[in-house]
Structure 1
Amino acid sequence: MRTVDAVALIVGIVIGAGIFRTPSLVAANVGSGVEIILVWVIGGLVSLIGALCYAELVSTFPNTGGDYYFLRLAFGKRIAFLFAWARMTVIQTGSIALLAFIFGDYASQIYSLGKFSAVIYAASVVLFLTAINIAGIRKGTETQKLLTVVEVLGLALVIVVGFFFVPEAEFSILPDSHPSSDNSMGLAMVFVLLTFGGWNEAAYISAEMRFGQRSVVKALMMSIVLITVIYLLVNLALLNALGQVGMSGSDAVAVDLMRLAFGKWGVLMISALVAISALASANATIFTGARSNYAMGRDFAGFKLIGDWKVKNSVPVNAFLLQGVISLILIGMGLFTRSGFETMVEYTAPVFWFFLLLVGLSLFILRRKEPEAIRPFRVPFFPLLPIGFCMTSLYLLYSSIVYTSWGAFLGIAVLGLGLLLQFINPSLLEDIGNGSE
């Protein structure tokens, strides 16, 4: 895989439909237009710090298993198994279902398939993209590059419309007349950092990079900078067109922007754009998710079936199939909840940030356990930057529990089930590989 493929993959995962929803939530929780831009800049900087930490790990220990492999080296196979279980049943599959629901919601605005239109679209996306990726790595990456190009061009359209096709809104850089609470800035940062989430997926393709481990570092840095610039331009365009009051009072800022500029056709245009954004992110998430499932099957006897790699197509077919089945089950939950998207956010967030915290801690542990390992890249200002990364992950773990409801506890319960399985059936942890692939 070339650097341009990795950049397309990371950008495709990170820039999803969230950027079309979170700007209004951020605007509602800060005091001025300047603070809106400030929190997005901070979000980019925090993500860059996290990416620097990951850059050391992926360049020193390149492996198809990504986070799974780092955790195994640092904490042992029990924690590695628990992470692989969580990724298979909660983190990755929940993210796939979440993105599929976004696609379904917006595709339904273009053409409704009836009462369960969103669920039908969501299930169809999982089936289609899983089939595309099973067809082979080249088809998967080519699809991703195409979807990411369309996605970024669509965001460029929002930026151009916000600056040049609507009258400038009257907004002030001074505090809003309705001051926010003491904790509002922290809540705004939660939304921002969640919108930046996904850059760590580069770890799962580190072993497939064509020009060595330092190309992973290059891909991470290029991706974060590009994403930050795009997010800043989107928010500046929205501020220019709608102002802070207009942004904070909107449930769909991009839809309101396009309606203001082009009416009904603008709404249809942005609905298609958001659907494509979700499609791009879902494709990248499916692509990387199967690789940690493959690593789990490669190392643990109880999951040997998903550890089969098809050399002909260069893909873990069984891992893709299992991931697709679990994602479809989670999508089925959307039939019984008021909002499939919100349920999946609650379901995945606490488990995700818990393991991201452990990955940050593994950087310290592996510096001590593997002092002689060749490190093509070392995170600068050690240990200050890794400490900041760990503290940020801990804060988001706390926030993902405090600000959500039953979905979070369901995800935690599924994680607990994986822990219970280790004690009920110890043979699941029997090694059949060493994770060195």
Structure 2
Amino acid sequence: MLRTKPVPIAEDPQASPRAVIGLGAAIALIIGVVVGAGIFKAPAMVAGMTGSAPLMFAAWALGGLMSLVGALCYAELGTAYASAGGDYHFLHRAYGRSVSFLFAWARFSVIATGSIALLGFVFGDYANQLLPLGASGPAYYAAAAIVVLSWLNIRSVRAGTTAQAWLTGIEVGGLLLIVFAALALVGDGAAAPPAVAAGAPPASFGLAMVFVLLTYGGWNEAAYLGAELKDARRNMVRALVVSLLAITALYLLVTWAYWKGLGLAGMRRSDAIAADLLRVAFGPAGAAIISAIVATASVTSINATIIVGARSSYAAGRDWPALSLLGKWDERRGTPVNALRIQCAAALVLVLAGAWTGSGFKSMVEFTAPVFWLFFLLSGVSLFVLRAREPDTPRPFKVPLFPLLPLLFCAMCAYMLWASLSYVHNQSLGGWNAAWIGVAVLLVGCVLLLFMRRGRPA
């Protein structure tokens, strides 16, 4: 049931976020969150599901367009309700403290912290190929990356965003190297013919879009920069639009490179599409090159997720007395230091769990996708709720073609929620239906909420 009035969110003028992040740093952070290991895996699956080159490219272009529509919705929310809490803040204003707490719990327990640990293992797997440390090497590398990057961000917001800018530049350079490899093959006349092999599987454009949109996922994290972005009223829109246009162009270029280098049939058969392309272009050295590129992409995403992940925990700490430790902002460093430290500790615990359970941990994180899409859908609906409830709130940017574009965004989120539920319902983990994992996360959050509500609002 919707509340008639939002509960005020506590602000401490003595120690709160300041506008210190520039447009370039925001763009680098968004690109870093979005462009992860997915672009090295998803194109092979999308090629198989679409069944033809035109449909394959159309899927990636449509994914960019749909993400841009969502970004316009978030640009309105982020400029009208600028806050370090991002989605948490929108959900709080639209639905009240309980819904926003459940979101913060899901984000801390799995969505953000789990992603950091999982990305740490992706980095560890590839780093261990470059410099082997034995069977436990991936876990050592994962833990080291999380500790070092958390330390950088605890040190200061400038240190974290500067590292992000450099990492994003290296990551984009690595992806452009894949494009260069295809160009080299075309120049040598060695590129595979872009033809569909006989007996190709039937096209499944809808399922392909699920993997495309997952690969574009993460742009919404820009909302967590609302209180720290310089000239947020203009730069929030610019950061989202510029970064998504750049990401779309990059994804189309990389997909073209795979297609020209391996052909559609080769893409579909490949289990390591980027490695196969670079192996064709550069020989055995290609395997080492792709390991370095994927490792860099993973570290870039870890750092970006650390930055934005701690912001939602900080926002929850401002609202709930029992979590007040998380709600401390270090004005000198410009960071929520306690939230960053606790997030680092939680991620390290998950790394330990991942080393113990193996692939089961990866599955657990993936099977909570319905929880993410549920809250993403609620954030989209909050645009309608807040426009109706708070019509006088200044909105420096308004979504064009309202309500058509927000409805389109909500429909996309609803489809992804349905698709992710359909996927996990057919999976199992430890003999249990995977759909119960997301339910368990929310149920634990509900139990915690019962205890939390004994306190008074901060």
Contact 1:130 1:320 in 2 (8 A): yes
Partner of 1:431: 457
Partner of 2:8: none
- 1:131 equivalenced with 2:154 (yes/no): no
- 1:251 equivalenced with 2:278 (yes/no): no
Partner of 1:228: 248
Q: After superposition, where does 1:182-221 map in structure 2 within 5 Å?
A: 184-221=204-241
- 1:308 equivalenced with 2:334 (yes/no): no
Q: CA deviation at 1:401?
A: 2.5
Contact 1:107 1:271 in 2 (8 A): yes
CA–CA distance in structure 1, aligned partners of residues 350 and 367 of structure 2: 10
Tell me the secondary structure at the aligned position of residue 29 of structure 1: helix
Deviation per CA, 1:345-404: give whole Å up to 9, x if none.
424412111110000000000010110011111111111111111111111112223223
Q: CA deviation at 1:123?
A: 1.3
Partner of 1:107: 127
Aligned match for 1:413, one of 403, 423, 440: 440
Contact 1:333 1:340 in 2 (8 A): no
Contact 1:27 1:36 in 2 (8 A): yes
Tell me the secondary structure at the aligned position of residue 85 of structure 2: coil
Partner of 1:180: 201
Partner of 1:369: 389
| AA partner of residue 171 (structure 1) | P
Partner of 2:113: 93
Partner of 1:292: 312
| AA partner of residue 427 (structure 1) | R
CA–CA distance in structure 2, aligned partners of residues 312 and 341 of structure 1: 37
- 1:170 equivalenced with 2:183 (yes/no): no
Q: Return closer, same or farther for 1:178/1:409 CA change in 2, 3 Å cut-off.
A: farther
| AA partner of residue 422 (structure 1) | L
CA–CA distance in structure 2, aligned partners of residues 328 and 410 of structure 1: 21
CA–CA distance in structure 2, aligned partners of residues 36 and 315 of structure 1: 42
- In structure 2, runs of 5+ residues without a counterpart are 1-20
Partner of 1:349: 369
Tell me the secondary structure at the aligned position of residue 403 of structure 1: helix
TM-score normalised according to structure 2 size: 0.90
Deviation per CA, 1:281-314: give whole Å up to 9, x if none.
1100001111111111111111011111111111
- 1:331 equivalenced with 2:357 (yes/no): no
CA–CA distance in structure 1, aligned partners of residues 395 and 416 of structure 2: 29
Q: Which moved more, 1:128-137 or 1:414-423?
A: 414-423
Q: CA deviation at 1:321?
A: 1.1
Aligned match for 1:23, one of 27, 34, 43: 43
Q: After superposition, where does 1:271-290 map in structure 2 within 5 Å?
A: 271-290=291-310
Q: Return closer, same or farther for 1:146/1:425 CA change in 2, 3 Å cut-off.
A: closer
CA–CA distance in structure 1, aligned partners of residues 440 and 283 of structure 2: 46
| AA partner of residue 28 (structure 2) | A
Aligned match for 1:240, one of 260, 263, 270: 260
Tell me the secondary structure at the aligned position of residue 149 of structure 1: helix
- In structure 1, runs of 5+ residues without a counterpart are 433-437
Deviation per CA, 1:166-202: give whole Å up to 9, x if none.
6121123xx65335346x2111111100000000000
CA–CA distance in structure 1, aligned partners of residues 37 and 385 of structure 2: 36
| AA partner of residue 342 (structure 1) | K
Q: Return closer, same or farther for 1:202/1:195 CA change in 2, 3 Å cut-off.
A: same
- 1:53 equivalenced with 2:83 (yes/no): no
Contact 2:29 2:304 in 1 (8 A): yes
| AA partner of residue 244 (structure 1) | L
Contact 1:101 1:341 in 2 (8 A): no
Contact 1:56 1:376 in 2 (8 A): yes
Counting aligned pairs with the same residue, the percent is 48
| AA partner of residue 168 (structure 1) | A
Contact 1:9 1:145 in 2 (8 A): yes
Q: Which moved more, 1:106-115 or 1:336-345?
A: 336-345
CA–CA distance in structure 2, aligned partners of residues 347 and 328 of structure 1: 20
Q: Return closer, same or farther for 1:230/1:341 CA change in 2, 3 Å cut-off.
A: farther
Q: CA deviation at 1:415?
A: 2.1
Q: CA deviation at 1:425?
A: 4.6
CA–CA distance in structure 1, aligned partners of residues 258 and 106 of structure 2: 37
| AA partner of residue 180 (structure 1) | P
CA–CA distance in structure 2, aligned partners of residues 411 and 107 of structure 1: 31
Q: CA deviation at 1:163?
A: 2.0
| AA partner of residue 177 (structure 1) | A
CA–CA distance in structure 1, aligned partners of residues 439 and 148 of structure 2: 29
CA–CA distance in structure 1, aligned partners of residues 307 and 367 of structure 2: 21
| AA partner of residue 207 (structure 2) | L
Contact 1:101 1:340 in 2 (8 A): no
- 1:386 equivalenced with 2:406 (yes/no): yes
CA RMSD of aligned residues (A): 1.5
Tell me the secondary structure at the aligned position of residue 294 of structure 2: helix
Q: Return closer, same or farther for 1:9/1:141 CA change in 2, 3 Å cut-off.
A: same
Tell me the secondary structure at the aligned position of residue 454 of structure 2: helix
May I ask how many residue pairs the two structures share in their alignment?
Answer: 428
Tell me the secondary structure at the aligned position of residue 165 of structure 1: helix
Contact 2:104 2:313 in 1 (8 A): yes
Q: CA deviation at 1:343?
A: 2.0
Partner of 1:435: none
Tell me the secondary structure at the aligned position of residue 232 of structure 2: coil
Deviation per CA, 1:81-106: give whole Å up to 9, x if none.
11111111111111111211110111
CA–CA distance in structure 2, aligned partners of residues 340 and 14 of structure 1: 24
Q: Which moved more, 1:344-353 or 1:198-207?
A: 344-353
CA–CA distance in structure 2, aligned partners of residues 268 and 403 of structure 1: 34
